[in-house]
Chains A and B, each alone.
Chain A
Amino acid sequence: MAASIAVEESSVQARMARPSRFGDKAFEWLTLAMALTVVVLVVLIGWQLWRGSTLAIQKFGFHFLTTSTWDPVAEQFGALPFIYGTLVSSLIALLIAVPLGIATAAYLTELAPLWIRQPLVSLIEMLAAIPSVILGLWGIFVMIPWLRDYPFPFLKRFFGWIPLFSGPIYGPCMFAGGIIIAIMILPIITSVSREILRSVPDLQREAAYALGATRWEATRIAVLSYAKKGLFGAVILGLGRALGETMAVTMVIGNTPQIAASLFKPGYTLASVIANEFTEATTDMYLQALFEVGLVLFGTTILVNLLAQLLLRTIAVKSATRAVQ
């Protein structure tokens, strides 16, 4: 009996290991081709951006990344304020959206009564469906006047001694840009986090409760900590969106290429300047400079993602060593 099972198993293994099956091969090639398409697309986009900006790259060289003048009349172009604006507005967005998104996901999977879960999830998904130009208009007519009249003066009064919250308040500013991005990336962070928390096995939770953990402890240790890697992935997805977000940000950030300590000052992002100026750029150098801004945005996105992956790996290694200890 046992012997016959062993024979059957080995024949299954043999069958699976046999490489000559045409269907398997075809499937392998097909999926490989699909995966390669993505790679080819990324390389082509990068190459095209590079080709479109060779003149500007030759003329400005590395100074393009380190100077702050953006003067289409004199054809002097430096992208530093745009790089700064993209990074700072995305950072503000993450600082707001990550705690909010993960906490919402934790509430939805761990604590919320069953009847409330589905309506809340639908609401969050609806937030993702709002077109960005509508969000931007809402930003101009509702969010900015409110921010200017209540939260900003409050921040200035109590934290005005920090340069971040100093200076006059006009309304459109870096802070407002960050908040709009936060609203836009909140649904993706929440939805992905929720899926990840839902995939945490119930055994984890039961084990924690069995050891006498409170609900908070069980959520923190058995669920959130277990899902750390996946949650980090959710944040990266949100960050990717934040870096490339264009229309709504353009409408509230103030579009001024400057690097200012205060978040109440207007700023500018890489994606915004392309959206703003590409259609009416008539000279070659101007167009090339805008192409180079696209290349810089492309590079920034890849770089930030790589850094995030690296960070993730360090965290994973650290927590693994801690677990061993």
Chain B
Amino acid sequence: MRQFGGMMKFQLPKILGLIVALGLSATASAQMMINGAGATFPYPIYSKWFDEYAKVDPSVRFNYQSIGSGGGQKQILAQTVDFGASDGPMSDDNLAKAPGKILHIPTVAGAVVISYNLDGNPALKLDGETVADIFLGKIKKWNDPKIAASNPGAKLPDKEIVVVHRSDGSGTTFIFTDYLSKISPEWKGKAGNNTSVNWPTGIGGKGNEGVSGQVKQTPGSIGYVELIYAIQNKMPYADVKNAAGQFVKPTIESVTAALETANIPDDFRFSMTNDSGSNAYPIAGATWLLVYEQQKDPAKGKKLVEFLKWALTKGEGMAKDLHYAPLPDAVQQRVLKRIDEIKS
């Protein structure tokens, strides 16, 4: 029974989606249903967009299942959805499996912050090597000279550092390990960059809530969470030294600043960690929608393009309220041009 319960939970969103879909198609058969699936990180803003867009164009409905980036990539490859969503760009291997050309449409970006639990909540400044060494298990105590060097005057206890990381595969981990791999060759060799890695040390917490819960409960702990979780849970988080040598506080502005100077190729598969801009926060990443360049269903394709254009213009304006960093204007223009190339 237990196992079945687990399976039911896993299936529940799909079943509910189905029920909703059936219900809607029964009441308004003229309405078009566009299905999507994927990343959980942008889910709050996507559902806000779908809600708002229903007022702009009542003839189309969106059904988005936040089943994770892996599921989003799989489903767009299998063409079981009209669009996918992912917190990391698709690999060349996966793109090669697609029956057609898949476009990456960046939508918004977010910051990953380093949060900690220390008596007196001192404001900490950390540089990349120090963060890497802590998560490699090489820096073991809070009063280590490497931490103290960036934090003159802060009271650092002679206490063991308890590392907390995500145990579930996540875009947050992808961004964080992407950053560490750029900063530290040792990290790149030992752990590398993925949605889940072989952690050299620490305790795994499930989800942002698991990591923030464990950091809050464990004195002397350090972990990484999405910016919004740290804000909502009133957790302290560190300023991080960027590639230009500045200590930068993670904010929506400093993430957008990173997007402005990020080197974004034409296929929009880019990484924005350790960015060179002087105001850029270094641990940040974008999230993408995945769509086929050649749409199968012309009517649906047309509606999808209309929505994407709306999202990249009007939609971007709603990002800040939900603590996402919107794309800078220049990037928006480039993405809009690419959306025009979608054929239906």
Chain A residues packing against B (C-beta within 8 Å): 69-74, 76, 137, 140-141, 144-145, 168, 170-172, 240-241, 244-247, 250-251, 254-256, 266, 268, 271-272, 275-283, 287
Contacts and interface: CB of A to CB of B under 8 A. Distances in A.
A250 B83 CA distance: 31
B196 A245 contact: no
Contacts of A140: 210, 213-214, 217
Contacts of B198: 69-74, 76
B67 interface: yes
Interface string B130-171: 000000000000000000000000000000101000011111
Given A245-B2, A251-B206, A280 B170 contact: yes
A256 B204 contact: yes
Interface string B276-302: 000000000000000000000000000
Interface stretch (B50-58, B187-195, B224-232): B187-195
Contacts of B196: 72, 276-277, 280-281
Given A244-B3, A280-B70, A74 B218 contact: no
27 contacts: A72-B195, A73-B194, A73-B197, A74-B198, A137-B213, A140-B213, A170-B203, A170-B218, A171-B203, A172-B214, A240-B2, A246-B6, A255-B203, A275-B206, A276-B168, A276-B169, A276-B206, A277-B195, A279-B40, A279-B70, A279-B169, A280-B169, A281-B70, A281-B195, A282-B88, A283-B93, A283-B94
Contacts of B71: 279
B70 A244 contact: no
B27 interface: no
Contacts of A268: 204
Given A266-B204, A280-B168, A282-B91, A72 B197 contact: yes
A241 B73 CA distance: 33
B195 A280 contact: yes
Nearest to A245: B2
A279 B89 CA distance: 16
A310 to B, nearest CB: 23
Interface residues of B, number: 42
A221 B157 CA distance: 60
7 nearest CB pairs, A to B: A280-B169, A255-B204, A279-B68, A255-B167, A73-B192, A71-B198, A280-B195
Contact of A254 (B3, B88, B171, B204): B204
Contacts of B107: none
A141 B169 contact: no
A276 B217 contact: no
A73 B88 CA distance: 14
B134 to A, nearest CB: 15
B173 to A, nearest CB: 8
Given A251-B205, A275-B168, A278-B70, 15 more contacts: A69-B198, A73-B191, A73-B198, A171-B203, A171-B217, A245-B2, A250-B167, A251-B206, A255-B204, A276-B167, A276-B204, A280-B195, A281-B196, A282-B91, A283-B91
Contacts of A74: 192, 198
B218 A171 contact: yes
A268 B198 CA distance: 13
Contact of B69 (A256, A280, A283): A280
Given A279-B70, A282-B94, A283-B93, A172 B169 contact: no
A274 to B, nearest CB: 10
Interface in B1-39: 2-3, 6
Contacts of A279: 40, 67-71, 168-169
A67 to B, nearest CB: 12
Given A72-B196, A277-B196, A280-B168, A256 B91 contact: no
Nearest to A298: B3
Given A141-B213, A170-B162, A256 B203 contact: yes
Contacts of B205: 172, 251, 255
Nearest to B199: A256
Nearest to B86: A282
B214 to A, nearest CB: 6
